[in-house]
Structure 1
Amino acid sequence: MANKFSKVVNKINKGPASLRPFLLTKVFNSQVKYAKTSNVKLLSVTNSAVELKIENKKRVQNHIGGVHAIAASLLAESATGIVFGMNVPDSHVPLLKSMKIEYQRRMVGDLTAHATLTEEQITQIETQDKGDMMVPVSITDESGQQPIECFMEWAWVAKRRD
């Protein structure tokens, strides 16, 4: 099922591979201002998988020079929200229901987030008028390890008619 956002993404994905991350990031950051402020970069987006990155730069650092906890949370929320939002019909709205972040250890360098949906989850979004689900996300740092565990629960409901 295509929505406005997925149509734009699919069009970008048909273009040159070298331009995709730039264009995907531009589109997303034009709509999500806080992601633009934090310089979240979209590396790849499909209806079932997303890869995002946040660089360990001064604007997102904490007092010990690592990526700030809230910037890491933004990365997780953005990754899950994008892959989830790719599948929610235009007649509905995606809503973050809950998030749980468990910090395991100090983050090293840049962070990369991978969020995915299964075919069963996509079918559920397409066929049910409303519902909710956990959207898995994995965040790794430059060491290749997962410094945090993130659990994001998303819901979809019909848009209100005013």
Structure 2
Amino acid sequence: MSHNNYLLDMQAKFNRLPFGQRLFSKVFAAKAPYFKTIKPFIETLEPNRCCVRLPKRKAVHNHIGTVHAIAVCNALEMAMGAMAEASIPKHLRWLPKGLNVNYVAKSTTDLIAEATVDADAWQPGDVNVTVKATDANGHVVVEGIIPLWVTEKPKK
């Protein structure tokens, strides 16, 4: 089943294996080794949307025992990067310009970091990716925007 996108095709190949999505998540996280520090799991990857599970465990706690804000941002950035790679048209490339988030509640459970963008947003210029992290009860704990700079790929 070809999706005409290298990352979605890779995910489909892994998913034919036992524990394929777990293996795919580990391989993707290894592309930027800092992602591995949160032990992420890609729950959903499709064009214009990605959800990454961030397990609540001691290694990602802050001083009050909740999930550290930077660990949450790490998961949001991973979700954004996977979503962008699975979505952007082949003639374009992307680069993050920042990370603008608001911490709206304590993170006391495992989290789902989600990145979404409208399909028609993939044009040269600024593209704002909506990100949010929700807890196991469906409450938003972090929300924001990751602005991307989208340009044409150079001609070879």
TM-score by length of 2: 0.83
Structure-2 residue corresponding to 1:37: 37
CA contact (8 A) 2:14 2:21 kept: no
CA contact (8 A) 2:111 2:134 kept: yes
CA contact (8 A) 2:110 2:135 kept: yes
Structure 1 residue ranges, 4+ long, deviating more than 6 angstroms after superposition? none
Percent identity at matched positions? 28
Structure-1 residue corresponding to 2:143: 149
CA contact (8 A) 1:40 1:75 kept: yes
Deviation at 1:43? 1.2
Question: What is the distance in 1 between the residues matched to 2:137 and 2:87?
Answer: 32
Structure-2 residue corresponding to 1:84: 84
Question: What is the distance in 1 between the residues matched to 2:89 and 2:119?
Answer: 16
Question: What is the distance in 2 between the residues matched to 1:105 and 1:23?
Answer: 31
Moved more, 67-76 or 103-112: 103-112
For 2:129, the aligned partner's letter is V
For 2:142, the aligned partner's letter is I
Question: What is the distance in 1 between the residues matched to 2:147 and 2:64?
Answer: 30
Question: What is the distance in 2 between the residues matched to 1:142 and 1:28?
Answer: 24
Question: What is the distance in 2 between the residues matched to 1:90 and 1:32?
Answer: 21
CA contact (8 A) 1:21 1:44 kept: no
Structure 1 residues 9, 132: CA separation in 2 closer, same or farther (over 3 Å shift)? farther
CA contact (8 A) 1:2 1:89 kept: no
Deviation at 1:82? 1.2
Deviation at 1:96? 0.8
Deviation at 1:89? 4.7
Kindly report which structure 2 residues correspond to 1:79-158, keeping only aligned pairs within 5 A, or say none.
79-89=79-89, 92-121=92-121, 125=122, 128=123, 130-158=124-152
Question: What is the distance in 2 between the residues matched to 1:157 and 1:7?
Answer: 24
**Which consecutive unaligned segments of at least 5 residues does structure 1 have?**
none
Structure-2 residue corresponding to 1:6: 8
Question: What is the distance in 2 between the residues matched to 1:79 and 1:10?
Answer: 18
Deviation at 1:41? 1.3
**RMSD of equivalent CA atoms:** 2.4
Structure-2 residue corresponding to 1:22: 22
| Number of residue pairs matched by the alignment | 154
Question: What is the distance in 2 between the residues matched to 1:120 and 1:161?
Answer: 23
Question: What is the distance in 2 between the residues matched to 1:27 and 1:88?
Answer: 20
